[in-house]
A and B are shown apart, each in its own frame.
Chain A
Amino acid sequence: MGKIQLQSVTKAFGGVKVIPDLDLDIENGEFVVFVGPSGCGKSTLLRLIAGLEDTTSGTISIDGKDATHLPPAQRRLAMVFQSYALYPHMSVRKNIAFPLKMAGRNKQEIDKRVDNAAKILNLADYIDRRPGQLSGGQRQRVAIGRAIVREPAAFLFDEPLSNLDAALRVGMRLEISELHQRLKTTMIYVTHDQVEAMTMADKIVVLRAGNIEQVGSPLELYTKPRNTFVAGFIGSPKMNLMGGSDAKSHNADMIGVRPEHIDLSQSEGQWKGEVKVSEHLGSDTFLHVQTSDHSEPLTVRAGGEFPVHAGDTVYMTPQQDKIHRFDGKGLALR
């Protein structure tokens, strides 16, 4: 079981309110991702759930029981840190066994569980090495192993992949997703990388300045962003937002069009512009186009190769059914 509920949770450091007032329900077995820009309070929120920070007010309950004032170890949660936080003076085996040792389990059971975790995470080959002798990816696996053996109610991940290089990050992302499917345990994952959020989550919680901007499935957030912040944050490259006559013609104060929802042509279209930068990836072409109608360049994505370069003229037409409309406060109009 791993149902976590936050009710009217606030957190202040001195006079600074980092989390103003927050309610959130996390269902058993869900993979929830907290995402938001740096300093939005996502890590603080995770640490509040973990018990590493005390709440200023409000309640946190785990499986229906009030855990607000329980010490971290008694919340039955396991955490994987960004820095791995392995014990450098212990071997991989001892690192993984540490929580079981603290829980006073007998040696036989500890050995069995450590071997099992090592098998799941392919750690068997370097079980007797020390963390200093491992690569970043291997260290992160050990950290996950240390979390698995406890059989926790939920796993908490605090930006676990940000110290890894790009290729390794993609691999570990898959491994964590597979682990979730295998264990079916609640996972709460903090990241500032919206691609990680979109690919892994059952449910994404978008945070800004300690407030929840929107909660929903990745596709919900992509197709129906609640406001301009979520619209800009989810999706890569980010959505083009524009006001003025374009917005007025759609009865809105602002409209947004994603780069992939603009059709490109070299002969005709609604907006004419000059290519400032072109990025040719083979699978996609990204163009940054300056038009006379918009103050900011528009980002456009074309599938496959689109043969234009900086200085060329292109024409763009937004797909009408994919235009997002927002009011003066930035809230979506439906």
Chain B
Amino acid sequence: MARQVTKQRKIGMTVLAWAVGLLIFFPILWTFLTSFKTELTAISIPPQFMFFDWTTENYSTINSQANYFHFMANSIYLALGSTLLGLLFAIPAAWAMAFSPTPRTKDILLWMLSTKMLPAVGVYIPIYLLFINLGLLDSRFGLIVVLFLINLPIMVWMLYTYFKEIPVDILEAARMDGASLRQEITQVLTPMAVPGIASTVLLNVILAWNEAFWTLNLTTTDAAPLTAFIASYSSPQGNFYAKLSAASMLAIAPILVVGWFSQKQLVRGLTFGAVK
């Protein structure tokens, strides 16, 4: 028998859902409001919520102090570059694991994921030295490779779970119909896996966009993305909360827009394979 849903219960659940939603959204809202305050209002006690003198001064200051578009261009390069490079390796890897598994496939997948458990700082020194020797410090290419490698396990996992859902009969039918391996992947598998590939791309772009450890430690100016841009407002002279908030809003704005329009795919990507 289906569970009875009373009107009170429905209202209660709705209120609870909104409360949780607002709680999660609150830090972003607070950052947004702070970005329009003066530095003094930003740290005033008690905090002022809506009723203060709104100013866009922080935005114009940070734009004049630092070249926002330079940092944003770097973020885009790093996020898209590492994602495209990742797809190039993750699609064939996931294809092989999903459709031609060996008894060790599951172990390899778990091993790949286990590398995500490694604290980044544990390999910081060797990678830093490697970057010095190869002359990759503060280079976009070097960072693209690092971001691609740290996110590759997640890309392979996500694509693997998507590919596993595609009946192998369909690929065998393509083989019977005369499709070569390339045609099988490009004309049959990929069109069927487009939603999966799209959400993998999206998640990877967000992960690369948000990555702060390596982007802060391996860059200074040339390859510095938005994470470095935000961090520059937390300085030894003190924290400039209003400017920091304005910088944060500028940094998350593009991903917020992309995320908003593709939330459906994103949720599907994160929960895919959880239930059949």
A residues whose Cβ falls under 8 Å from a Cβ of B:
50, 52, 71-73, 77-79, 81-83, 85-89, 98-99, 102-103, 146, 150
Contact = CB atoms under 8 A, between A and B. Distances in A.
Interface in B186-210: 188, 191-192
A102 B188 contact: no
A165 B178 CA distance: 31
Given A77-B176, A85-B169, A102 B183 contact: yes
B62 interface: no
A102 B178 contact: yes
Nearest to B190: A89
B76 interface: no
A146 B172 CA distance: 14
A89 B191 contact: yes
4 shortest interchain CB distances as A-B pairs: A102-B178, A73-B178, A99-B177, A85-B169
Contacts of B188: 87
B204 to A, nearest CB: 23
A73 B191 CA distance: 21
Chain B contact-residue range equals: 10 to 19
A99 B172 CA distance: 12
Given A83-B167, A89-B192, A73 B179 contact: yes
A85 B178 contact: no
B175 A85 contact: no
A73 B192 contact: no
Q: Interface on chain A toward B: helix, strand, loop, or mixed SS?
A: loop
Given A73-B178, A98-B179, A146-B173, 10 more contacts: A52-B176, A73-B176, A73-B177, A73-B179, A79-B173, A81-B172, A87-B192, A99-B176, A99-B177, A102-B178
Contacts of A146: 173, 177
B176 A50 contact: yes
B170 interface: yes
A71 B176 CA distance: 8
Nearest to A143: B173
A67 to B, nearest CB: 13
16 contacts: A50-B176, A52-B172, A71-B175, A72-B175, A73-B179, A77-B176, A79-B173, A79-B176, A81-B173, A85-B173, A86-B170, A86-B173, A87-B170, A87-B192, A98-B174, A146-B177
B177 A102 contact: yes
A103 B173 CA distance: 14
B14 to A, nearest CB: 34
B184 to A, nearest CB: 10
A50 B177 CA distance: 11
Contacts of A77: 176
Contacts of A52: 172, 175-176
Nearest to A50: B176
